[in-house]
Amino acid sequence: MKLVSFGPAGQEVPGVWTEEGIIDLRAAQPGWQADWLEILRLGKLAQVESIVANATAEQCIDHGTVRLGPPIPNPSKVICIGMNYADHAAEQNRPLPQKPLLFAKAPSALCGTEDAIVLPATEEKPDIEAELALVVGKRARHIDATDWRHYVAGYMCFNDVSGRSAQYGDRQWFRGKSYDTFAPCGPYLLTADEVADPHNLSIGSRVNDFILQESNTNQLVFRIPQLLEYISRSMTLLPGDIIATGTPAGVGVFRDPPQFLKPGDSVTVSIQGLGSLHNPVIAEEDSP
């Protein structure tokens, strides 16, 4: 299933993307939970398929009439992995990391497909990073790597937009990674049962018509089983938490010459089977 959250920013409700349209779960099942976080917390994801199967035409919304927000608009945390692609380490002439490098993005940075990436007036080097993200399906601590599939609700495209001026100027990453709109994701969350192997998917990004990144998730240094085991040793993972697994080679800052975002650009992140995430780029002064 393709899980979406649709509606105005801050008021998104859960739905399922189908070929015919978006099934409004609250219309199809009166009294249903108001967001995916609660659905996951209550362990009700397995019930969604039957709700969709019994939905009527009146409960199906035309794709083009609603905004798609981030599939999970309100996670407790967004955890990212630094330098987790072999080709990305190679383009920096750096050795492969010996253990996962974790950093956080503020959940307030999340936005959906077609939402604008807003460039702060103070950020001179905005960059993009195509990433495969997973969403945690249930509360977990001390996950065994062999049991990893039980904890993944699904996968989606993620763009770890990065303000390099702040990232390198602060000598830590949180501010440069957490500007509002610097975490586009979607367009939907594909449930884990529909992804046979998340470690063998083509992944890439482009700015306008220029291909920036072109790789495969088989380049991951630390794969999802190892990431879930490592992260859950340090913190409790909660339903809806987002883990962005790292970016491949080709990001703008390491190009010669460097290539950064500018107002008027159009950014696309694509992952095999997970669709394409599109976002226009605007200046902060042009933002509503």
Average pLDDT, the chain: 96
Question: What are 220-246's pLDDT values in tens digits?
Answer: 999 999 999 999 999 999 999 999 999
Whole-number pLDDT of residue 288: 64
Q: Which residues make Cβ contacts (< 8 Å) with residue 115, sequence separation at least 6?
A: 9, 67, 69, 181, 184, 279
Burial profile 208-240: b = 16 or more Cβ within 10 angstroms, e = fewer: eeeebbbbbbebbbbbbbebbbbbbeeeebbbb
* Beta-ladder partners of 5: 14
Give which of 20, 16, 76 is closest to 47, Cα–Cα.
16
Residue 1 has pLDDT above 90, yes or no: yes
Residue 8 near residue 30, CB atoms below 8 Å: no
Residue 282 has pLDDT above 90, yes or no: yes
Whole-number pLDDT of residue 186: 98
Question: What are 107-139's pLDDT values in tens digits?
Answer: 999 999 999 999 999 999 999 999 999 999 999
In which residue ranges of the chain is CATH 3.90.850.10 found? 78-286
Whole-number pLDDT of residue 145: 97
Whole-number pLDDT of residue 92: 87
Share of the chain above pLDDT 90, in %: 94
The end-to-end CA distance of the chain, in Å, is: 33
Q: What is the CATH number of domain 78-286?
A: 3.90.850.10
Hey, is 210 helix, strand or coil? Answer: strand
Residue 1 near residue 189, CB atoms below 8 Å: no
**Angle of CA points 83, 89, 92, to nearest 5°:** 115
Residue 13 has pLDDT above 90, yes or no: yes
Residue 287 has pLDDT above 80, yes or no: no
Q: How far is it, in rounded angstroms, from Cα 253 to Cα 164?
A: 8
Whole-number pLDDT of residue 154: 98
Q: How far is it, in rounded angstroms, from Cα 23 to Cα 188?
A: 13
> How many of the other CB atoms lie within 10 Å of CB of 176?
24
Which of 81-85, 93-97, 113-117, 191-195 is predicted least confidently? 93-97
Question: What are 132-186's pLDDT values in tens digits?
Answer: 999 999 999 999 999 999 999 999 999 999 999 999 999 899 999 999 999 999 9
Question: What are 182-217's pLDDT values in tens digits?
Answer: 999 999 999 999 999 999 999 999 999 999 999 999
Residue 90 has pLDDT above 90, yes or no: no
